[in-house]
Amino acid sequence: MTEDAQALTSVARLLSPHCRVTGLSDGALIADWKRTRFLGMAAADVLNLVEGSPEERAELVGSLRSAGCATARRTPPADSGVGIWLRGAHLLIRTAGFGRVLRLLALAAPGYARADAPSADEVGRLKQAVRTHSRGSWLVNGDCKSEAVTSFVLLRRCGFDAVLHVGVREHPFAMHAWTESAGLCIPDSDPRGHSFTSVLAIDCWGR
């Protein structure tokens, strides 16, 4: 039973948001609600996603993508790409205002996130790249709003789940922004040891 549940979880993590998987005695049934169709998977194929060789798993994932049931995960941009996004986000915030940029996030950061969570290593590498470019740019110069927006957009565009927070503290009054994913915050949610209370959290657009 444990292996069956693990196999079904592996299938579910690969599927697009409009697809659902149900375990059957002889495999699994994938319901594609976008196209109103149902696809069957043999029990051996379901188990191969957990126990099979890398080649077997790659073939199965390729079949799901060809059928339109799975979406390929994007890879995070290179360090140079992070710098471009960071400077662009900073200029947009300076010209349009932080509030307007938050309302525009639906255009740049899709609401779809893969079911498989990002690893702490992946988010940690992005955090280091954002920090390096932010501190090394006279334009950005460690601006938390630019770092939070950039991180949120890049994580969401990779299909990762992320939440952008805007927080405040009372004494002395200050505001701070950060993005949280895989248990890490970009930038830190408590800079210089000062804690902030989140008053706005943006996950999927409209929630």
Number of H helices, E strands in the chain: 7, 7
- Local structure of 40: helix, strand or coil: strand
What is the extent of the structural domain holding 125? 79-202
In a domain, 47, yes or no: yes
Report the residue count for the chain.
207
Is 74 part of any domain?
no
Same-domain status, 95 and 186: yes
Q: Cα(155)–Cα(113) distance, rounded to whole angstroms? A: 9
Q: What is the identity of the amino acid at 26?
A: D
Q: In whole angstroms, give the CA distance from residue 128 to residue 163.
A: 18
User: Do 132 and 87 fall into the same domain?
Assistant: yes
Do 158 and 98 have their domain in common? yes
User: For the chain (length 207 residues), average pLDDT per consecutive 10?
Assistant: 69 79 88 86 82 77 81 66 92 94 81 65 91 90 94 86 92 93 93 90 64
Task: Note whether 61 and 140 are same-domain residues.
Answer: no
pLDDT of residue 69: 82
- Residue 98 pLDDT: 95
Q: What is the pLDDT of residue 77?
A: 65
Number of domains in the chain: 2
Q: Are the CB atoms for 130 and 140 separated by under 8 Å? A: no
Q: What is the pLDDT of residue 158?
A: 80
